[in-house]
Structure 1
């Protein structure tokens, strides 16, 4: 059983998906979804131990308690942390492993530790530290773990600001670092550097997640910029877990010489569709593979109440050439269209009026307003269908001349109009991306 909330403190029964920060989701054998997140509450202190929620549809969440009784002793002694951040939960055989992070804001004296359980609901048993870092030493900040399984090799992707994102090899049998001097003792070295940003933007990169690409290779999903306002999600791809990762324009995600605003391909940033909520600072994303679809699980803020964060889930799709993109619409749960035959396979199925958001790589932070695009036969004359949902060609995304795009078109649920509708996500070779929903 997970731990119940203390007698004193906020009423978590009313939270639902609110106050879920740095979320990751898993599904148990019975079909229940479990969400793990940072010990955060926008209105004041909250007890430590990793928040847990559960859901049957990934839309309505019930607060379930905390995984641990507080910050494990080794993590508290190393960092002085009063709460745990950015948990990562994976299943290895019959064992569930949770990698928690301990640190304090603005410090690189941090630790990632491991706890194990027979089920996502617990009970969770602490197994000690996996990797640590110190503020006065060069290298990564030991928080924000993500575990990647590549055949019989396991890897941890981690890091936040400071020294960038690194990859460290794990021992599949124990879940600890492969170069650890002993069980529960941290690794000697930081591993491979795979992404970083220059000091001119405070090295603002964190919350990495690596997943396999269709057809081979890997995609790195990572968050850029300010947690409170300009946070957004970018991607790069690589042939190996350990990199190098490059963006759509071929720029290395370790590049410190190019304009830091353009390195990395933006797939999700602050935006607003006409009549809908203003979604601000989406980020720290994980990916849930659930049957035949994949879902991006991230936190986001409401532009009308930006101090509060909440969990949001969106469909993740892949272009014909293996780039991950994100739905413009939040996942709708049981009403989400699920018929595989509903994915369009003919250009004529795209005719209509679309509301589109286009993300400029140089200005992805903040909020991008939508605009209307009318896709008539002339506008779609150079678009080709490659299969169910996959299209390439010159696509009118901004009301002006079309640009060559790789697009994915799929059924969705329009959150503004509360009805089923077609949506798309697309990218061009320069790294500009767009997504939108057909309105008429």
Structure 2
């Protein structure tokens, strides 16, 4: 498609001012293995979405918040006592979660022959392996509204060691509970070889529903085995769903013998024992005998639909989207370093067979390593892997154990927990929209859901994105099947060392694609848009990626983005290996709006000087562009300062110009400097701003827009106003000194210094901290206060901070601190962070000086001032102000 070329246009400060804001999210929810359900029953006009997860993690939200603002206050979780408990007994009395599994309500059930029989009580805690408790073992529940029962049904797996696990059903009149135990659905581990909390191992099968399901009068040979997990499932991780005909199904299982599926009774929510399963091996009916790893159907456990042979795979979830039932599985270990990934298969039937884009079955017939850098089997379409967009505060890794849903507008979503590359085991819920490409395979949106109105039917029938909007500078991520995952040490599996970061590519107006090193783009790369639709195909190095165009919002900002999510077809390579498997590979490309992208880049460039500064040493000129921008520097006199290498080459005045380009637009900013190797460098004055002017921001979310570098033997001044919610003393600014930027490898904080005379860190010493605050009025005093802070870093590694804080009422406080930085590194990195408060120095920036002249002062000149407004003598070297005009004093 031939498009007009983009012309080069110049942008000014006025053009990019206030072009974006950053966003923080203060009410994320930590819910491992989240299962989502919509309550459009209680109040159909105002649906509420609920998630439940392992260890009774839970939360609720609305579509209006884009599933980013959660409330979990309505349930106690795994807490002591009964206050706010999620569980009740049959008479409605609240009980502690640990006591919720002992007494079932249902006493009669139809057996495999359709006869109504007694349903003996099953104590799920008593079934757990001896010594196991309920706490910490309530894993991966699923919740559904049963229309026939008029009840909410919660299917909980109570895990036990040695596969002594079970899935049981609770019901409630509300998705918030309280939940009452009804009956078991399926159990595992009845080999007669493992003791239970409440039962001996001998004839333990008699405590299960095996006889009701199959008519067994003795333990079949195939279950009488020690290595249960090589053949049979661990009964955890339920997923319950309706098919198009109204039938109710449950998939379940984790690693071990595979993922199985049972038909449930839609009238009771429990197992439909009248639905019989043959014993099959490799899909063929066989006579039961000894256990066989290739058993694909079993009279008790049902149909095997995935996994087996102890291959990794858990958290099955089935969701009908478009014409297919999609089976989601999570491969790998769940720790951040263990390669957790979501894989997808599909089928036209709720019972399978489920296959991937290569036609490969989700079932394994022998063991294969299916995750990590050394995987030998890449079956299952990879939805995403560890990644970090530049606006994200930390990388997201080990995404998985998802659920999915389709809302009332026809939009499909994936809901999963993510972990982070920050050295912790922390996790949070994320929601991304799902789209069908031309081949009917799912791709995930590059960004979290932010209100997009796009639907799969609209994408296939409407060109909502104009042709002229498509060309431009994008950031590009290719997700890897064999991506490396490595912990920091053998004792710390909380950190992954590998994630995908974006590279720049350009979709040119003539239909070609050009790209930076590492993008994989070559001379044959191109893009085409399918007329009348929002389908797009990217051809990168000979591989076709079929995808969709969708308008989104860049994560953690309000910057609009044109996004592409695409999946490669059979033109990709199927050679298993790191970086070589490009079949069914998902790619993301995002094009941020031009002006906010340029402004975001300008705000995040760590420029090591200010306009008018004197510099006496080489400097690193930042050249990292953000959001698809390109950054370059030029020098007015290469004989004074070489902008290519950041090196001093002479002495005298020089102008360094930074240029930020994107989408045919260019912004330039000049810095008038004086270069002299023998001069004392001027003290830079900074006016920091918080990313969010938000009095509700949670801790460690609202950072200053920039980092500041302080080298040995230098100092810096910071001026800003502080604004607080006045609720707590600590709801004010904090100064952080570290060895680099957050979330970089080896990141260490030397100290965190709080406004309220408090701190911590490896180099923090409270004995070196002094203030004269009035604690009776402190919270009111700090709100609206003006902070004039001076920081110095001596050559011996001693850091000092002195602040003069002037309240809105005119009171003045002095605050000081010092610390000896361990090993005295050559430089420290400073930044600010606020909790339920923010800082703003933007109104203090000097304005109104518009010209720079050479030194033409007369004998009658008045006093001299530097750009910080400080009076200086005639020997000062650099840019000075005299009579309201700016000069370079040589």
- The two structures have a TM-score, normalised by structure 1, of 0.83
Q: Which residue of 2 aligns with 1:82?
A: 134
For residues 46-125 of structure 1, the aligned pairs below 5 Å read: 50-56=56-62, 57=65, 58-63=67-72, 64-65=74-75, 66=77, 67-68=86-87, 69-71=96-98, 72-73=101-102, 74-79=123-128, 80-83=132-135, 84-93=138-147, 94-104=150-160, 107-125=162-180
Please, which of 511, 514, 538 is the counterpart of residue 378 of structure 1?
A: 511
Deviations 1:13-69 (CA, angstroms, capped at 9, x unpaired): x99434311111222233222221111xxxxxxxxxx23322232111111214323
One of 403, 406, 409 as aligned partner of 1:286: 403
- Residue in 1 that maps onto 2:559: 419
Confirm or deny that 1:205 pairs with 2:313: yes
Distance change in 2, residues 1:213/1:33 (3 Å): closer
Q: Which residue of 2 aligns with 1:248?
A: 357
CA distance in 1, matches of 2:418, 2:151: 30
| 2:427 matches 1:309 | yes
Trace 1:168-247 onto structure 2 (pairs within 5 A): 168-179=262-273, 189-196=300-307, 198-199=309-310, 203-214=311-322, 216-229=323-336, 230-247=339-356
Distance 1:180 1:339, change over 3 A: closer
Q: Which residue of structure 1 lines up, in the alignment, with residue 539 of structure 2?
A: 395
1:314-329 to structure 2, matched below 5 A, reads: 314-329=432-447
Do the aligned partners of residues 422 and 140 (structure 1) sit closer, same or farther apart at CA in structure 2, a change above 3 Å counting?
Answer: same
Residues 270 and 279 of structure 1 are in contact (CA less than 8 Å); yes or no, is this contact kept in structure 2?
yes
Greater shift in the superposed pair: 341-350 or 358-367: 341-350
When the two chains are superposed, the root-mean-square deviation of aligned CA atoms in Å is 2.6
Structure 1 pair 53–213 and aligned structure 2 pair: CA distance change class (3 A):
closer
Unaligned runs of 5+ in 2: 1-24, 78-85, 88-95, 103-122, 191-225, 276-297, 486-497, 514-525, 570-582, 595-890
Return the alpha-carbon distance in structure 2 between the equivalents of residues 405 and 154 of structure 1. 36
Aligned 8 A contact 1:210 1:219 in 2: yes
Give the deviation of 1:363 after TM superposition: 2.9
1:238/1:246 contact within 8 Å kept: yes
Distance 1:37 1:259, change over 3 A: closer
Relative to structure 1, the CA distance from residue 16 to residue 274 in structure 2 (aligned partners, 3 Å threshold; closer, same or farther) is: closer
More moved, 256-265 vs 70-79: 256-265
What do the CA deviations read for 1:85-140 (whole angstroms, capped 9, x no partner)?
11111112122111011114x64221111011122122322112101111743311
Range with greater deviation from structure 2 (166-175 or 73-82) = 73-82
Please report how far the alpha carbon of residue 305 of structure 1 lies from its aligned counterpart in structure 2 after TM superposition.
Answer: 4.2
Distance in 2 separating the partners of 1:140 and 1:343: 47
Name the larger-Rg structure.
2
1:368 and 2:500 aligned:
yes
Cα 1:345–1:412 shift into 2, 3 Å: closer
Q: Which residue of 2 aligns with 1:33?
A: 49
Deviation per CA, 1:306-352: give whole Å up to 9, x if none: 311111111111112221111121123xxx24377897455543211
Is contact 1:179-1:188 (8 Å) kept? no
Gaps of 5+ in 1: 1-13, 40-49, 182-186
Higher relative contact order (CA 8 A, sep 6+): 1
Q: Is the CA contact 1:347–1:383 (under 8 Å) kept in the aligned structure 2?
A: no
Query: 1:355 Cα deviation (Å)?
Result: 1.3
1:256 CA drift (Å) = 4.5
Paired residues, number: 399
